[in-house]
């Protein structure tokens, strides 16, 4: 179980392929030429972590500034959760575009959307200064920036996984994770740290400035990546296996992948249900603990609650970075299962000891245990669910396959952030109200681990190449002409065959 996986294990069919033949690794490129497309494609997910996590602190600032006008309005829930609805829409649309249009162009479009609507969100303004109008504008821009985030998943992550196939075998999982999930987690950390820093600099007397700058800084990461992405080329695997200019046989694909896609989507739903909910509401949980035992009128300083929130979010990083090597060592399937199982156990322990941990004098212990809980989630599904989704389908439909799984994840995030307050409320009005979410989340973690063990295939370093071959074999068995894969615009099977004959004659 703990030995390194050198060869892939697939389900439904075994492809007879020479394991020493690694066509992607044989492409004549330097290490940097192989690595920078992985960086350029995957790093945009930093924006996902930052934009989704910063809104928790921003919402806390809005509550402090505007009081009941904000907290008693629908905007309080919508501002935090509407981004996920936009992400679902963007993921599905860009999943199709990345398969049928271009990985590169879809990625560029999503980057531009991120830049425009992150900037507009920071500048939200109601007509004639109307407060509810400002909340409505912020909600609308948060939805649209979510569309841009959604594009990063099928366009960026899928292109990243295909580009990582050109790197040295034995390190491909690691590089994919470092430039996708680790980027998301750094986004979470910076999304917690920036509001803390701005509250310290601006003080609580100038929170209007602090929340706008917090949102506005979300423009910086996609702007830095834009120039890199302009220089991108389509991944080699996509050039060879795409279905850009042929009719995709969706019925055959559904028959072949439905069960695997269902399992991957369910695990992603469960992971995002927990992770994004705790990420967005962690500052609220900390604030509740710090205010425990104080007079009803007491409110903990925002700088203090935001500071502890930053400490908690820092625990994402060691789990994500260490988990990237763990995934190469034992394979994504087992790394996912062990990480989620361990997270579930820690979550149950935390729920059982929550009364002691939630005492203000034990805030440091709470931060450490909660941080370990979050860190183990990154070792498991955080690092590996995107990797599993990007490597368990064929290149021609990978964008749409990945998009469906990621969309289910974001639906889980939306559901989690929406129902999280109700789960807390079920625990009562005291500090132990946060105990219930840990019971729910921990139970789901154990369930996810079981799904991974019993329902997912093992994934090796060369799974993308093997999966394409396996898919070709399946299509041929159903009478679909696989010579259509990789056709260029205006090209047909016949014209390609004729061109190959002419080329062979010239070489001869």
Q: Alpha-carbon distance 96 to 465, whole Å?
A: 21
SS3 11: coil
The pLDDT tens digits for 437-469 are 888 888 999 999 999 999 998 888 777 888 889
The CA-based dihedral angle spanning residues 398, 400, 403, 407, taken in that order and rounded to the nearest 10 degrees: -140
How many beta carbons lie within 10 A of that of residue 66, not counting itself? 19
Start-to-end CA distance of the chain, whole Å, equals 51
Tell me the pLDDT tens digit for each residue of 29-76.
Answer: 677 777 888 888 888 889 888 988 888 889 889 988 998 888 888 888
Q: Which of 35-39, 178-182, 500-504 has the largest mean confidence?
A: 178-182
How far is C-alpha 508 from the chain's CA centre?
A: 50
Residues of the chain with pLDDT > 70, as a percent, come to 86
- Of the listed ranges 137-141, 369-373, 402-406, 468-472, the least confidently predicted one is 369-373
pLDDT over 90 at 245, yes or no = no
201 or 488, which is more confident?
Answer: 201
| pLDDT at residue number 19 | 42
Q: Which of 105-119, 289-303, 363-377 comes out lowest in average pLDDT?
A: 289-303
Q: What is the pLDDT of residue 427?
A: 66
Measured in degrees and rounded to the nearest 5, phi and psi for residue 315 equal -70, -15
**Among 13-17, 167-171, 312-316, 339-343, whose mean pLDDT is lowest?**
13-17
Q: How far is CA 259 from CA 91, 158, 255, 393, 451, in A?
A: 20, 20, 9, 12, 12
Q: Note the pTM of the prediction, 2 decimals.
A: 0.83
Q: What percent of the chain has pLDDT over 90?
A: 37
d(CA 151, CA 136): 24
- Cα 173 to chain centroid distance, Å, stands at 15
Q: What is the mean pLDDT of the chain?
A: 83
Instruction: Supply the pLDDT for residue 294.
Output: 65
* Residue appearing with tokens 């960086």: 39
For the stretch 248-301, pLDDT in tens is: 999 999 999 999 999 999 999 999 888 766 765 565 666 666 666 666 555 667
203: left (phi over 0), alpha (psi -120 to 50) or beta: left
More confident: 319 or 12: 319
Does the pLDDT value for residue 3 go beyond 60?
A: no
pLDDT at residue 186 is higher than 50: yes
Give pLDDT, residue 429.
61
Burial of 228 (0-12, 13-18, 19+ CB in 10 A): middle
Query: Residues 342, 379: contact at Cβ < 8 Å?
Result: yes
Q: Is 50 exceeded by the pLDDT of residue 20? A: no
User: Could you name the CATH architecture of 31-477?
Assistant: Up-down Bundle (1.20)
Distance CA 390, CA 398 (A): 7
Q: What angle do CA 139, 145, 147 make, to 5 degrees?
A: 110
Q: Rounded to an integer, what distance in angstroms lies between the CA atom of residue 399 and that of residue 103?
A: 9
Note the pLDDT of residue 487. 80
SS (H, E, C) 365-399: HHHHHHHHHHHHHHHHHHHHHHHHHHHCCCHHHHH
> Distance between CA 173 and CA 158 in Å, rounded?
13
User: Following CA atoms 313, 317, 318, 322 in sequence, which dihedral angle do they give, to the nearest 10 degrees?
Assistant: 150
pLDDT attached to residue 2? 37
Tell me which of 243 and 237 has the higher pLDDT. Answer: 243
Least reliable range by pLDDT among 210-219, 297-306, 384-393, 463-472: 297-306
For residue range 41-50, list pLDDT tens digits in order: 888 889 888 9
Q: What is the pLDDT of residue 112?
A: 94
């Amino acid at each position: 179980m703990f030995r390194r996986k050198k060869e892939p294990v697939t389900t439904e069919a075994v492809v007879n392929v020479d394991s020493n033949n690694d066509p992607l690794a044989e492409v004549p490129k330097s290490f940097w030429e192989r690595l920078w497309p992985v960086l350029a494609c995957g790093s945009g997910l930093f924006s996902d972590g930052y934009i989704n996590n910063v809104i928790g602190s921003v919402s806390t600032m809005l509550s402090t500034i505007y009081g009941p006008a904000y907290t008693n309005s629908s905007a309080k829930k919508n501002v935090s959760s509407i981004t996920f609805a936009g992400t679902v829409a963007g993921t599905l649309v860009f999943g199709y575009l990345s398969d049928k249009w271009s990985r590169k162009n879809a990625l560029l479009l999503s980057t531009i959307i991120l830049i425009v609507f992150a900037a507009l969100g920071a500048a939200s303004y109601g007509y004639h200064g109307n407060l509810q109008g400002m909340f409505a504008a912020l909600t609308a821009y948060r939805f649209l920036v979510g569309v841009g985030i959604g594009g990063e998943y099928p366009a960026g992550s899928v292109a990243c996984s295909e580009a990582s196939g050109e790197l040295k075998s034995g390190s491909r999982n690691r590089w994919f994770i470092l430039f996708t999930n680790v980027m998301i987690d750094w986004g979470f950390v910076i999304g917690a740290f920036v509001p803390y820093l701005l509250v310290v600099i601006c003080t609580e007397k100038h929170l209007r400035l602090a929340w706008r700058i917090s949102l506005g800084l979300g423009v910086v990461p996609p702007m830095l990546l834009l120039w890199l992405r302009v220089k991108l080329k389509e991944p080699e695997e996509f050039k060879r296996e795409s279905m850009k200019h042929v009719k995709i046989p969706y019925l055959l694909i559904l028959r072949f992948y439905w069960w695997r896609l269902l399992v991957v989507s369910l695990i992603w739903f469960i992971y995002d249900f927990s992770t994004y909910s705790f990420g967005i509401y962690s500052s609220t949980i900390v604030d509740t603990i710090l205010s425990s035992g104080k007079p009803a009128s007491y409110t903990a300083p925002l700088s203090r609650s935001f500071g502890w929130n930053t400490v908690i979010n820092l625990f994402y990083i060691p789990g994500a970075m260490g988990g990237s090597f763990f995934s190469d060592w034992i394979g994504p399937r087992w790394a996912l299962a062990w990480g989620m199982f361990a997270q579930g156990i820690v979550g149950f322990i935390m729920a059982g000891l929550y009364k002691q941990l939630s005492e203000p004098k034990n805030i440091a212990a709470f931060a450490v245990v909660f941080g370990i809980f979050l860190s183990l989630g990154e070792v498991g599904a955080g690092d590996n669910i995107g990797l599993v989704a990007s490597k368990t389908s064929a290149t021609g439909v990978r964008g749409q396959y990945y998009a469906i799984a990621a969309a289910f994840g974001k639906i889980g995030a939306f559901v989690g952030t929406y129902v999280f307050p109700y789960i807390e409320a079920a625990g009562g009005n005291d500090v132990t109200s946060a105990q219930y979410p840990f019971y729910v989340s921990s139970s789901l973690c154990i369930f996810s681990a079981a799904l991974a063990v019993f329902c997912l295939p093992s994934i090796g370093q060369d799974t993308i190449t093997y999966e394409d071959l396996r898919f070709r074999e399946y299509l041929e068995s159903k009478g679909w002409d696989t010579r259509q894969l990789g056709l260029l615009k205006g090209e047909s099977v016949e014209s390609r065959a004729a061109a190959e004959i002419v080329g062979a004659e010239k070489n001869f």
